Amino acid sequence: MGKSPNAALVLLAFFAIYVIWGSTYLLNKIAVLELEPFMLASCRFTTAGLLIFILAKIMKIPLTITKKQLWNAIIAGILFLSFGNGVVVWALRYVDSGFAALEISAQPLIILLLMRVLQGKKIQPMSVIGVILGIIGIYLLVSQKQIIAQEESIVGMVMIFFCMLSWAYGSLFVARADLPNNYFVNTGYQMFTAGLTLALMSLAFGEEWSSPLEWSGKVQWSMILLVLFGSIVAFTSFNYLLKAVSPEKVATSTYVNPIVALLLGWYFLDETITLQSIVAATILLTGVYFINTKKTLAIFERFKR
């Protein structure tokens, strides 16, 4: 039995993954309209990883890890960031930031189904209701005429779904993997290695790289906020919570993220919020609530360890 997690730290970490991550959809959308997507993600995560290593040295936090921990950090970085985030940034060229956040709000449903398929975990009755509501909500969200009529939007939606699979598998992997004990160092290795992987992806796709000095002011500010808060603060909080609580509790950030993303996208980018999207969001988030009932979470907690 490990020591109980600090309640105040857990609360602050949840605020980071709830609110800060909700704003990253807007920041990524602003940046990807001007920059190449994989280059953007590579610059963000490589910079964040290097900053974490520098801060760790200043705070005299040892960066030494085992080969197994390094390998697991690389795998986690690819699942969460290279694919799970990098491809979402690419998809934001074709779908609204609020819509992307709403689709990703089905994450707990994906985690639940993966636990059933990969780990044989029985789905409880309340969670079955949640899965059904989640499927209905997703259907209402993606079946809107203005979306179906745009072929590129469909491609974006499909790619976001595969990102959700990658992120969900990563959550289950990290919950059991041998990773650096320090969450800050763990985040640094995941960020830096993902940044290098994304650079290779960018080169493979023939993206054109540009100097940060050539970016517009709003893109420069977006990148600074993405690096400092969206990457270092929020992702460190995410890695901490995956060990401090269960993956399903961490996935409840999807209650708040889409609301924050929708409002910011509407206010700053004039993105449309349709009535069908609101209905779909209500049904989908109700489904997520059923999936994350206390009874279900208690079972997940026993299963996790």
Mean pLDDT, rounded, of the chain: 88
Instruction: Tell me if 6 is assigned to some domain.
Output: no
Q: Residue 89 falls within a domain, yes or no?
A: yes
pLDDT cut 70: percent of the chain above it: 93
Residue 5 covered by a domain: no
> Within a domain: residue 149?
yes
Q: Is position 207 within any domain?
A: yes
Radius of gyration of the chain (CA): 19
Please give the pLDDT value at position 3.
59
Q: Which of the residue ranges 102-116, 153-167, 235-249 has the most confident prediction, judged by mean pLDDT?
A: 153-167
Q: Assess contact for 195 and 86: CB atoms under 8 A.
A: no
Residue 50 sits in which domain range? 13-304
Backbone angles phi, psi at 292, to 5 degrees: -105, 35
Contacts 24+ apart (CB under 8 A), 168-171: 168/107, 168/110, 168/111, 168/114, 169/79, 169/114, 169/118, 170/76, 170/79, 170/80, 170/84, 171/111, 171/242, 171/247, 171/250, 171/251
Residue 301 pLDDT level (bands cut at 50, 70, 90): very low
Residue 148 lies in a domain: yes
How many independent structural domains does the chain possess? 1
Please report whether residue 8 resides in a domain. Answer: no
* 32 belongs to a structural domain: yes
**With the C-alpha atoms ordered 115, 118, 121, 123, is the resulting torsion angle positive or negative?**
positive
For 66, residues 6+ apart whose C-beta sits below 8 A from its C-beta are: 178
State pLDDT tens for residues 186-224. 989 999 999 999 999 999 999 999 999 999 999 999 999
Q: What pTM does this model have?
A: 0.85
